[in-house]
């Protein structure tokens, strides 16, 4: 036998991801493109939520607010901020758990970058914690019931995100928490309904398959 030939990059990729995963990606370029679009919306919503607080709604000292219930207001970015939970779930549905985890890290950096210097650390830390909670609740549920996974993980993240951020920012919970919870809950409820509709379409019918475990040459 001659000397063993070095593995080419395509062979290394095949071993790392598994041939079934590679074949799945090759057969679904539309799914990959859709995942990129959802990721762009996910990151964009972080910046948009920060912009809305300063520009949209009724002006109050230090922010702008929008109604979330008769007689109850919340910072105007609350609706868009809640949509990040939904977008991350959709991204993970399309591209897998690795993409879902990567999105959390990217989102935390983006949240820190678009926040004011006094709130950057609180914003990024809260984002990292709440989105991680979303991942932990969503991941085991999505295979059995996609809409319920989106709804349940979003509601848990809603409570974590609102409570932790207000506490770290030194904002009284009694005055600010109800509006935050209600405003985000509306978006999460809508996200559950959207997930129910998307489940009937091919890209969202099943979770992205997990990549096969890599094996060493000759094993």
pLDDT tens, 141-182? 998 999 999 999 999 999 999 999 999 888 889 889 999 999
Pick 54 or 88 by higher pLDDT.
88
Whole-number mean pLDDT of the chain? 83
Give the model's pLDDT for residue 91. Answer: 94
- Domains, the chain: 29-204 (1.10.1760)
For residue 18, is pLDDT > 80?
no
pTM of the model: 0.81
For residue 15, is pLDDT > 70?
no
- What is the CA 205 to chain-centroid distance, rounded? 19
Band (214; pLDDT cuts 50, 70, 90): very low
Band (102; pLDDT cuts 50, 70, 90): very high
Pick 3 or 93 by higher pLDDT.
93
Give the model's pLDDT for residue 210. Answer: 62
For residue 16, is pLDDT > 60?
no
3-state secondary structure the chain: CCCCCCCCHHHHHHHHHCHHHHHHHHHCHHHHHHHHHHHHHHHHHHHHHHHHHHHCCEEECCEEEEEEECCEEEECCHHHHHHHHHHHHHHHHHHCHHHHHHHHHHHHHHHHHHCCCCCHHHHHHHHHHHHHHHHHHHHHHHCCCHHHHHHHHHHHHHHHHHHHHHHHHCCCHHHHHHHHHHHHHHHHHHHHHHHHHHCCCHHHCCCCCCCCCCCCCCC
> pLDDT tens-digit profile of 21-48?
444 544 566 788 899 999 999 999 998 9
> pLDDT tens-digit profile of 54-85?
888 898 887 888 999 999 999 888 999 999 99
């Amino acid at each position: 036998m001659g000397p063993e030939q070095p593995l080419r990059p395509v062979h290394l990729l095949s071993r790392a991801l598994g041939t079934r995963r590679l074949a799945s990606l090759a057969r679904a370029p539309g799914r990959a493109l859709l995942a990129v679009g959802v990721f762009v919306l996910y990151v964009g919503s972080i910046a948009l939520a920060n912009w809305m607080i300063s520009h949209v709604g009724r002006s109050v000292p230090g922010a702008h607010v929008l109604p979330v219930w008769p007689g109850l207001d919340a910072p105007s970015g609350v609706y868009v901020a809640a949509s990040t939970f939904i977008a991350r779930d959709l991204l993970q549905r399309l591209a897998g758990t690795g993409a879902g985890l990567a999105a959390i890290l990217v989102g935390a950096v983006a949240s820190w970058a678009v926040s004011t210097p006094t709130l950057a650390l609180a914003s990024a830390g809260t984002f990292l914690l709440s989105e991680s909670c979303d991942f932990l609740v969503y991941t085991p549920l999505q295979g059995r019931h996609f809409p319920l996974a989106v709804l349940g993980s979003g509601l848990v993240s809603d409570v974590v995100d609102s409570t932790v951020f207000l506490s770290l920012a030194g904002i009284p919970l009694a005055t600010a928490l109800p509006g935050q919870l209600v405003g985000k809950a509306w978006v999460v409820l809508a996200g559950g309904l959207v997930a129910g509709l998307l489940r009937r379409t091919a890209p969202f019918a099943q979770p992205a398959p997990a990549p096969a475990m890599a094996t060493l040459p000759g094993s």
